[in-house]
Copies of this chain bind each other. A is one copy, B any other.
Amino acid sequence: MFSKACEYGIKATIFIAVKSLHDQRVSLKEIAEEIDSPVAFTAKILQLLAKSGIVDSHKGPTGGFQMDRTGIDNVKVYDIVCAIDGDKIFNGCGLGLKQCDAEHPCPVHDKFIGIRENLTTMLQKTSMFELATGLDIGLTQLKR
């Protein structure tokens, strides 16, 4: 469904959101441990998320990653997926035609379009706040 980079990116952002809700900045090392991801690779992904304005980063001692309250409420899973994997999964043809076009549909177009819309809507509606609170109260987990 998503690339590894995107999976790490989503998990990292949720974790940063949890910590930010407790007014804590969190370091790359801590993130990688918490989401069970390779440190250096995670660094690349966080760089991209920082450039995209999804998370804030600070260098130096006491540095690390964080989100402000507005971000925690406004950033949706959809934004992270777009930033890392692009929008192919939301707009692309399920059978790989150059573009998905209802006027010239592939054989699965009509069947796919509904599911793709459900996925898009779901990801557009799901905020970091919602996912972060579930994690914070122990309902969900980021590794196993």
Contact = CB atoms under 8 A, between A and B. Distances in A.
Contacts of A101: 144
A107 B135 contact: yes
A122 B115 contact: yes
Nearest to A2: B94
Contacts of A77: 108
Interface in A3-38: 4, 7, 10-11, 14
A47 B96 CA distance: 21
B122 A107 contact: no
A143 interface: yes
A1 B104 contact: no
Interface of A: 1-2, 4, 7, 10-11, 14, 77, 89, 92, 94-99, 101, 104-109, 111-112, 114-115, 118-119, 122, 126, 131-132, 134-135, 139-144
| Closest CB pairs A-B (n = 5) | A107-B131, A7-B96, A107-B140, A97-B144, A7-B95
